[in-house]
Amino acid sequence: MQKRFILSGAILAMLGVMIGAFGAHALKPMLEANGRVDTFETAVKYHFYHALGLLLLGLLSHLRPSKWLNYAGNCLLAGVIIFSGSLYLLCLSGITFLGAITPIGGVCMIAGWLLVVISTTK
């Protein structure tokens, strides 16, 4: 599992840099016109933080294997996809109901970090 989390974290970090740069340059006029610069920046920020978290989880699970860390990594990965993904789609499409999906990703992220805490007590 640790290999999967390290690989996922590295890919997500790479994509975070690419998407962030794309938003700052190519998409900037559109994001400004739609008032979505802050939303896009939030998506990139959480995307990147949790990519780094997945990398750390991969290393931690290598040192101290735990089913709780596996659950945590899966939650963080799902959280990035749902939270940041829904915000990216909202910014690009203008479909506002996607904002209602975003909190589900946030809950996945919170659950992931809670599972890391639980893993330290087991």
The per-residue pLDDT for 98 is 87
9 touches 59 (CB < 8 A) = no
> Minimal CA–CA distance to 84: which of 27, 43, 31, 40?
43
Model pLDDT for residues 33-82, shown as the tens digit of each residue: 999 999 999 999 999 999 999 999 999 999 999 999 999 999 999 999 99
* Domains of the chain, residue spans: 2-121
54 touches 14 (CB < 8 A) = no
CA 77 to chain centre: 6
d(CA 90, CA 40): 9
